[in-house]
Amino acid sequence: MYKPVPRGEIADALIHLRDLFRQRNPSNERERMTHERREIVTKNLLSNLFRTKEHPTLHAVLELADTFSLTIDGAHRLFGYDLEEIRGYDFRLNGGRTHIKRPHERRCSEKSIVPCA
């Protein structure tokens, strides 16, 4: 479920990801801004990684996934979390209680944009 990952290994992975994206030159304004954001996120994560010894916040993991085009699972694995194992553990503990039994039925109203059936 959780395997501690040395901070240096996390830093190396972040630097590797950043370097992969640095190999590609931005071709337009949007890509340039994304490149700048990626540099800032990497800098912030690297500086905070060694100052704090705690686990990353969910916000940091989601930002990492978004910035580097990673899956949520991939971003969590970087920090030592295996979501598949967590899902299995959750299922064993909670059984069917946490799973949706039927689709959510949307409440209809006269002001609804989507017509009600």
Does some domain include residue 30? yes
Does some domain include residue 67? yes
pLDDT 10s digits, 13-35: 999 999 999 998 999 999 999 99
| Residue 41: Cβ within 10 Å count | 18
pLDDT 10s digits, 79-102: 999 988 888 888 888 876 765 444
- Residue 48's domain comprises 7-94
Does some domain include residue 101? no
Number of domains in the chain: 1
Token pair belonging to 6? 């040395």
Query: Model-level pTM?
Result: 0.71
Token pair belonging to 40? 């800032």
Token pair belonging to 28? 């337009």
Does some domain include residue 110? no
Does some domain include residue 46? yes
